[in-house]
Structure 1
Amino acid sequence: MNTSAPQRWARAERLDADRTAAAVHALTGVRLVVEGPCPGGEVGAAYVRWPDGRRSVLKSRPGARIEELRAGPLAVCGVLGARGYPCPATELALQVDDAVVLVQELLPGTPVEFLDHRGLDRALALNASQAGLLTEHPQVPSVNLYLLDDGPGYCLHEPLRRHGPRGAALERRIRSVGAGCPRLLAGHDVVHMDFHHGNLLAVDGTVTGVIDWDGAGRGDHRFDLVTLRFGLHAKEQPPGVVRRLDDILDALPEEILRPCWAHMSLRMSDWAIRHFAPGEVEHWLDLAEQRL
């Protein structure tokens, strides 16, 4: 289980790579050979090969407009790439009916399953480097926390309200936090929005890249540390890693930690209620209640 990008959660159909590659060929004349699905993720992506033999990753964003991606996630990745941040370059982006199809650089490494202390050090350093990068890029939208209203297919409030007294109480606390803070996350930092360890790539234990920037936007980069904490809750990690991250979160200003924690509590609890077994729902409610 991972915390998966909200945009993928909202549309659970799996990528039809062959049909998507055929659409790319019809629109551009470029014939991509589909090699197979990439590992991990709720919806997934596919490895493809260009006519010159290069390998890349094929993705599709149903319900998206290319103009929105160019102003948001693609712009963010452009800023990061110019700074040497290890995020994949977008090699092709086009509108195919109601979806945006992306072909992105294939970074070296495989998804991190267990985050050790060296990996956490690298994740913290990468996160810190996201600070202030969007000051001169006002077109990038700010992150919406959805603490008072529903997100587009995720961060839904009604499932919590209907999930017995415990879920209803959590939803009331989330709305209480939302009533006391801005709707949009403040700041001019890059926010990945799905910065969990499964979106970190590594080779021989060394983190080599960060993938899945589909939901990236503007805000406070420390939001991503809260996302990382929720991601680590999915399965037991090496000793001391979670404790270290908890200590960092506990030192954050309340006006930063509380709304970010409320958002992730809503996001994961809602999704677990609608898609996971009952025992797993309690697992996420346990974590949500730690700081709410």
Structure 2
Amino acid sequence: MKSVTFKNRTWDVAAELRLPPGFDETQRYAAIVCVHPGSSCKGQTAGLYAAQLAEQGFVTIAFDASFQGESGGEPRYLEDPATRVEDVRCAVDYLVTLPFVDDERIGVLGVCAGGGYAVNAALTEKRIKAVGSVVGANIGALNRAGDAIATLEAIGKQRTAEARGAEPMITPWIPNSTQERDAAGITEANVDVFQAVEYYRTPRGQNACAPNRLRFTSMGSVIAFDAFHLVEELLNQPIQIITGSVPGVFGSKKDGQELYRRVKGEKDLFVVEGATHYDLYDQPEPVAKAVAKLVPFYRKHLGA
């Protein structure tokens, strides 16, 4: 693995490029862009999948989203769906400049919201030849599930305040600690949020590039985003959808089923029995099952 950067507009996007065992720079390899969840970074679950796929013969790249982690872009802590999708395109732009990457054999893999962004990018980025989604979630639909109008009104008031000189509102994505989670009364019955804190805010998956900070006003763009809009018309690449069997509030099981139903072309839905959303982030057995499904999928459609 080596640290690299590529451009999105005027800023640098920080990434980790992984090369397969026995790498030969005179050869041309299939490559996979790995897209991290919302609130995450390249060193967490996207990097884990990138590492395991590289071990199987692929060149992989995982990156920090623009405005987040070690990537550039202002303002900080923005979750901007259009830019998140553009990050994917820019990662492809970078890969096609590498002499050892076959530009006809590029795929994408996204986890959670990154799965939704990966699908959305593939709608218009036809240099992507195969799409993988692990517990892929439609982040816009998730955030419309509550009182979206009230949230949008609050965003408008906050933008007015900031336009008049107030400090930006930076909020946490999830409770900042297990103690804060428990004090809020979040129990294992709310499996996704409960395990999100376990993953992001304890040594299990904690990473300095994912500080649990979100610019509140950016949620307006998130609420209006639909990762699966026009899937029926524009997604012509083969897709491998992977979910856990345990449902949760983040909706990845439901979103995976919806995506499978809506895709008109070549598709497969693989359900990892007994697995929760966050089990498929980093737990060895569920991740191994997902990778065992992804590798032959990418080999079939990209070669290796």
Q: Normalising TM by the smaller chain, what interval?
A: under 0.3
Q: Report the TM-score when normalising by structure 1.
A: 0.26
User: TM-score scaled by structure 2?
Assistant: 0.25
